[in-house]
Structure 1
């Protein structure tokens, strides 16, 4: 889920080495930003992690902000895809639980990306605030209307759609964003199989018994 190069020298016509170096920088930056946040990360840390000199890194990206923004831009669309996939034509229980499972799988498979996104939000989302107020809010309103239709049709118990989505985000992303805490409590055991079972039971309670 690392961002596709969009800026920098010869971004549209790069050599194999340039592509490799840009990829190394973005991968290293993802590690560093997910550990230290935007404010705590430095270009020196990213360059060291990538195995490049700082001047070499600055050939590809003019600033820490440019690297961070490219990662966020590459991440945002992917982060919204699971909600986009919720279909009004599907069985409501399957659609809600399927969305929850997709979000949980993203926390399992992309914990660094989850922490990158969380750190940006905790800092007030200065680089993606417009997307939150635009694309994300529009999508939440669209899917909220779908959920309200399911409720009106008696296919779901009455629940606030927006806060239902908030709770799915919180309970799935917790396993990535608080990975160290989860690991300490579970003594390093894989939390995801039991987490999926528990969340199936929890969110399954919003639907009438068959």
Structure 2
């Protein structure tokens, strides 16, 4: 009985491990070569599974790509979902900047692939953007608008504030080669990471601080 009870659990763990390996390999190849440049054979070999096994979980390269992109979107939106309304506005925005910079540091491949998808017009992700992303941004923009109306922030457009935070923080992942060429450092350097977060926070927060 004990053996039969644990077998399904072990199977589900094995399946989850395989899917995680496939998604990780997909992210690696898609971020370097794009949807059309990467092959399922490459992804399967990197994941340690057969192509047939890969196609059992993801029936086409497009299906795998969409699964990878949805995983990226979850990572990318996590800091915005965590936008804290229990903090004072400047503290909440500063915290959001730090979390977004952590995503750029910890998931540079994901950020670059997301950027590539946007540059191509988001042909396979537009539904996600017009759904979850738009709704989440509208929700957080309403919070920022409320702070502005209460005089807790300078009069700024919430959308443009969010876009500026995205552009600034993601630059350090999407253009990491350029950043390293100019500064000789990356976000993997703890001192440079802390200096970067503090600098970006200062510049953006001083812009929205109520006068």
Relative distance call for 1:146 and 1:23 in structure 2 (3 A) is closer
Match of 2:95 in 1: 98
The answer to whether the Cα contact below 8 Å between 2:22 and 2:54 also exists between their aligned partners in 1 is yes
Q: Supply the distance in 2 between the matched residues of 1:96 and 1:200 (Cα, whole angstroms).
A: 8
Match of 1:5 in 2: none
Aligned residues: 198
Match of 1:145 in 2: 142
TM normalised by structure 1 equals 0.84
Q: Supply the distance in 2 between the matched residues of 1:139 and 1:183 (Cα, whole angstroms).
A: 33
Q: Supply the distance in 1 between the matched residues of 2:184 and 2:134 (Cα, whole angstroms).
A: 38
| Alpha-carbon offset, residue 103 of structure 1 | 0.5
Q: Aligned with 1:154: secondary structure?
A: coil
Cα RMSD of the aligned pairs, angstroms, is: 2.2
Q: Aligned match of 1:171 in 160, 168, 171?
A: 168
**Equivalent residues in 2 for 1:40-51, closer than 5 Å:** 40-51=37-48
Q: Aligned with 1:159: secondary structure?
A: coil
Q: Supply the distance in 1 between the matched residues of 2:210 and 2:37 (Cα, whole angstroms).
A: 48
Which ranges in structure 1 are unaligned for 5 or more consecutive residues?
A: 1-11
Q: Supply the distance in 1 between the matched residues of 2:12 and 2:139 (Cα, whole angstroms).
A: 42
| Alpha-carbon offset, residue 143 of structure 1 | 1.5
Q: Aligned match of 1:88 in 85, 88, 93?
A: 85
The answer to whether the Cα contact below 8 Å between 1:115 and 1:177 also exists between their aligned partners in 2 is yes
Q: Aligned match of 2:22 in 10, 25, 30?
A: 25
| Alpha-carbon offset, residue 16 of structure 1 | 5.0
Match of 1:160 in 2: 157
Pair 1:133-2:135 in alignment: no
Which ranges in structure 2 are unaligned for 5 or more consecutive residues?
A: 1-8
Match of 2:202 in 1: 201
TM normalised by structure 2 equals 0.83
| Alpha-carbon offset, residue 204 of structure 1 | 1.7
142-151 vs 57-66, greater mean Cα deviation: 57-66
The answer to whether the Cα contact below 8 Å between 2:75 and 2:103 also exists between their aligned partners in 1 is no
Q: Which has the higher helix share?
A: 2
